[in-house]
Amino acid sequence: MVEKLKQLLDHRVRCVFADGEVLVGDLQFVIEEDDSIIFELVWSNRPHKYERSDLRPTVRGKISEILECDADKPQIAPGPPSGN
């Protein structure tokens, strides 16, 4: 998992944790010695855990608690209908 996380540095990721929390954020650091990742939070399925602010919170997660983590696929808005 650590090598995969290192490859995802500076990318937007979607991580699923053992406690069921799903986080989407911009991955900033992978700290092997501390079993941690640090990222700027974009979205969580548990938003009540984080203070509301105009700034995105910086969140630390435990690598050992990550079940899966992949590059987040951007949401692409559908284009205008074609006039066939």
Task: Note whether 17 and 67 are within 8 A (CB).
Answer: yes
Among 2.40.50, 2.30.30, 3.30.1560, 3.30.470, what is the CATH number of 2-66? 2.30.30
Query: 16-25, 27-36, 52-61 — which is least confidently predicted?
Result: 52-61
User: Quick one: average pLDDT of 29-42?
Assistant: 95
Angstrom distance (rounded) from CA 63 to CA 77: 32
Do residues 23 and 17 touch, judged by C-beta distance below 8 A? yes
Give the span between the Cα atoms of 47 and 72, in whole angstroms.
Answer: 18
The structure's pTM equals 0.78
Closest CA to 71 of 20, 5, 21, 18: 5
Quick check: 44 pLDDT over 70?
A: yes
Residues 49-74 pLDDT 10s: 887 777 888 999 999 999 999 998 76
Tokens, residue 8:
């995802």
Residue-range domain boundaries for the chain: 2-66
* Residue 28 predicted with pLDDT over 80: yes
